[in-house]
Structure 1
Amino acid sequence: MITRRGFMTLVGGGFASFAALGGYAFAVEPLARLSIARYRVIPPGWTPGLKLRLVALADLHACEPWMPADRIISICKRANSLGGDAILLLGDYASGMNFVTRHVHSSEWSKALSTLQAPLGVHAVMGNHDWWEDRTAQKSGGGETFAHRALMGVGIEVHSNRAIRLEKDGFGFWIAGLEDQLALRPGKIWNRRRMAGLDDLDGTLAQVTDEAPVILLAHEPDIFPKVPPRVSLTLSGHTHGGQVRLAGYSPVVPSRFGDRYAYGHIVEEDRNLIVSGGLGCSIAPVRLGVPPEIVVVDLG
């Protein structure tokens, strides 16, 4: 039979453990950790002899104190050291939280991202928060956001339903980037009753003019069931791995598919998707079991 002292010790120990776990999730994992998630993929029909390394960054959500400009520069320095043939930015550069001491201006985070370097360039798509934080873009229902302009202003390729052909060692491949699938919020403007996307998968892939492999950048992974086998690899962010992921499961995921596309390498019907756990935080500055990460993908 447990004594009163034993009961109080048990309760006190449980409270201390809970407090320590909360402190870690709030102050350590989001701020002090940076992991490298590595994947090796040989998609069906991949060009023999084409060896390609892609380095991907997702969901920075620039703000202070969680993701200031100097931390972004440090992340970029680490990304540059990983030997990527191309560096891919998967959207959500703007903050998605109110728990901030200061919002980092697009001129600051884009200047930090301009330090990224790769032989085949730096390529970006937009995320939902890049659209949601731009009231002018919401009113116009399209066009360019401040995030588009900031990235293009520092020389970063922005793909808005656009595909381009690149070459490495004489072998061609395509990078195709979708505009965001949740770009326009509900509201009185344009009588929108639900989220509206500006993505055009068919139109983007129609720009591919040969049989070279296609790498698709899509901020939200929910597009994946519609992606044809012609695409060798789809890369996404958005979910943050749920921000809390324990025993390989995320209880809350911003996806209509729940945990199905929450994180990691997913293979369905010989089609490949990799979902990054991202770098920053959205809604609340908490991460547990899914530390900020840079993704490295070796193809071929």
Structure 2
Amino acid sequence: MFSRRQFFRSIGGLTALTASTSAYGFGVEPVLRLRVTRYHLTPPRWPVDFPLKIAVIADLHACDPWMSLERIETIVARTNALEPDIIVMLGDYVAGHRHVTRFIPASEWAAVLANLKAPLGVHAILGNHDYWDDKTVQREGQGLTVAHRALEANGIPVYENDAKRLTKAGRPFWLAGLGDQLAYMPARRFRPVRRIGVDDLGATLAKVTDDAPVILLAHEPDVALRVPSRVALQLSGHTHGGQVRLLGWSPAVPPRQGVELAYGHLRTNCDVIVSGGLGCSIMPFRIGVPPEIVLVTLGKSGPAMA
């Protein structure tokens, strides 16, 4: 079975068969297309009469020319126009490949993201590339990443195995953010690594102190196989929907324990939504999974869905 990296290395040869497919995959879908993907659901652990609109931004991978500051500004404007109650960002803000003309500094992309606005705020977790790109953190095995510091300097809280109780119209819910599950994979080049992740699901959920519903942010969706039914909804990114998705199949993202975790809405112990993300990793190439902002509407308002 191909690894994800091997799959994308083979794309160049495969797409050479048709110049039009190659041009579309490199130049149109990753750069020019942007859609809003909407989900309306009421998970078992979410009150039916509690409407909440969540805008989800995942996997920006800021870099020129593929995810320029101007394109991020467009994403910010489109997200704000959705008028969500809350905005969550699921990590991987830094470039995910080397096919770039400029690596955009964290201070620049974070300043643009600071223009996101929602009544219940903007909340973030980190992704694996935010850790992998920080060589100092990889060598030392600790510390706040450049991405973490840039987000918080611009007023955006970053959750790492933490949870916060929020309210909308007097109705409480918890927003929990998991540490990245692949954070220290590159650190093995520098020193022995006992554990590559900084995630602690048990400690994160232990911070939930009442029976209000829980929304879990987890960059990699794989943890869904361990998330208890106490969680109403898990929101994840990382996979980019496979970046190549053919007739509902993402060849670069094989099932985990028989569960398809590449893209879309599924149910394990809780409801899970995996975003197709906005940028690209390994190669600046997308087919069948356009960049997307996700809008999740939970609960119902009156006889019609909010």
1:83 counterpart SS class: coil
2:280 counterpart SS class: coil
CA RMSD after TM alignment: 1.7
Amino acid corresponding to residue 291 of structure 1 in structure 2: P
Matched, 1:277 2:276: yes
Residue deviations 1:216-265, cap 9 Å, x none? Answer: 00000010010000000000000000000010001112875587100000
Specify whether residues 79 and 65 from structure 1 end up closer, same or farther in structure 2 by C-alpha distance, changes over 3 A only: same
Contact 2:42 2:48 in 1 (8 A): no
User: 2:25 matched to which residue of 1?
Assistant: 25
Matches within 5 A, 1:17-96: 18-96=18-96
| In 1: Cα distance, 2:34 partner to 2:208 partner | 35
- Percent identity over the alignment is 56
Amino acid corresponding to residue 214 of structure 1 in structure 2: V
Q: Which segments of 5 or more consecutive residues in structure 1 lack a partner in the other structure?
A: 1-14
Matches within 5 A, 1:200-215: 200-215=200-215
Contact 2:16 2:22 in 1 (8 A): no
Contact 1:94 1:129 in 2 (8 A): yes
**Alignment length, in residue pairs?**
284
Specify whether residues 50 and 286 from structure 1 end up closer, same or farther in structure 2 by C-alpha distance, changes over 3 A only: same
User: 2:135 matched to which residue of 1?
Assistant: 135
Matches within 5 A, 1:93-242: 93-186=93-186, 187-192=188-193, 196-242=196-242
Contact 2:89 2:124 in 1 (8 A): yes
| In 1: Cα distance, 2:229 partner to 2:293 partner | 26
Matched, 1:288 2:280: no
Specify whether residues 282 and 255 from structure 1 end up closer, same or farther in structure 2 by C-alpha distance, changes over 3 A only: farther
Specify whether residues 40 and 291 from structure 1 end up closer, same or farther in structure 2 by C-alpha distance, changes over 3 A only: same
Contact 1:47 1:212 in 2 (8 A): no
1:26 counterpart SS class: helix
Amino acid corresponding to residue 190 of structure 2 in structure 1: I
TM-superposed CA distance for 1:19, in Å, is 1.1
Amino acid corresponding to residue 106 of structure 2 in structure 1: S
Contact 1:142 1:198 in 2 (8 A): no
Q: Which aligned segments of 4 or more residues in structure 1 are displaced greater than 3 angstroms? A: 254-259
User: Normalized against structure 1, the TM-score is what?
Assistant: 0.91
| In 2: Cα distance, 1:33 partner to 1:258 partner | 32
TM-superposed CA distance for 1:45, in Å, is 3.0
1:87 counterpart SS class: strand
1:78 counterpart SS class: helix
1:38 counterpart SS class: strand
1:137 counterpart SS class: helix
| In 2: Cα distance, 1:142 partner to 1:87 partner | 28
| In 2: Cα distance, 1:142 partner to 1:292 partner | 32
Q: Which segments of 5 or more consecutive residues in structure 2 lack a partner in the other structure?
A: 1-14, 300-306
| In 2: Cα distance, 1:217 partner to 1:283 partner | 23
| In 2: Cα distance, 1:23 partner to 1:95 partner | 21
Contact 1:163 1:176 in 2 (8 A): yes
User: 2:3 matched to which residue of 1?
Assistant: none
Contact 1:242 1:253 in 2 (8 A): yes
